[in-house]
Amino acid sequence: MVLRRQVIRAAVIMLGALAFGTAPAAAEPAADSNAIHAGPCTRSAAGREVTLEIDPKPVKHMKELTFRVTVEPCEGLAPNLLLDLSMPGMVMGRNQVRMSKRSGCTWEGKGLIVRCMSGRTLWKATLLSPELGNPAFTFNVRD
Ligand SMILES: [Cu+2]
């Protein structure tokens, strides 16, 4: 009887540890573009296709990154665009990549993603463009 009680108590403690262990991940919203580690990600915005690609892959903290945005069609968009890098639900310092139009409908710029002291890795890249309704991609940056 005593042994059985101990086993139950141990099981309850383990369950508690499991719930606690998964709590931080559950609190963080899910990324919609983790495919960015393997290739470009595309989404529709205001009737156009917006594609983001980041090199080198996989996308890591504290590394110089090249951000490439392609918009099809791209008529009427500014020759320079800003890509805002933020953390959902956290106030971080402003981090905006200046994107310049290269060839065709592609903009390119260099930037860096800092490692967050909280240990969270979810970042959001928002293309600041009123014409496109500021499309965003979220992804977990790797170490
Ligand atoms: Cu943060």
The model's pLDDT over 16-56, given as tens digits with 9 standing for 90+, comes to 444 444 445 456 789 999 999 999 999 999 999 999 999 99
pTM for the model stands at 0.81
* 91 and 72 housed in the same domain: yes
Cα separation, 109 vs 99, whole angstroms: 4
* 63 and 130 housed in the same domain: yes
Give distance in angstroms: CA of 57 to centre of ligand 1: 21
Q: Find the DSSP H helices in 28-82.
A: none
Closest CA to 64 of 72, 53, 56: 56
* 58 and 106 housed in the same domain: yes
* 24 and 39 housed in the same domain: no
* 84 and 23 housed in the same domain: no
Q: How many domains is the chain built from?
A: 2
pLDDT at 14 over 80: no
Give distance in angstroms: CA of 26 to centre of ligand 1: 16
Which domain, by its residues, includes 1?
1-28
Average pLDDT over residues 104-126: 97
State residue 104's pLDDT score: 93
* 16 and 71 housed in the same domain: no
* 60 and 17 housed in the same domain: no
Q: What strand order describes the sheet that includes 106-111?
A: 41-45, 48-55, 65-72, 106-111, 96-101, 80-86, 122-128, 136-140
* 100 and 72 housed in the same domain: yes
State residue 5's pLDDT score: 62
- Give 2's pLDDT tier (boundaries 50, 70, 90): low
pLDDT at 4 over 50: yes
Give distance in angstroms: CA of 49 to centre of ligand 1: 29
* 109 and 73 housed in the same domain: yes
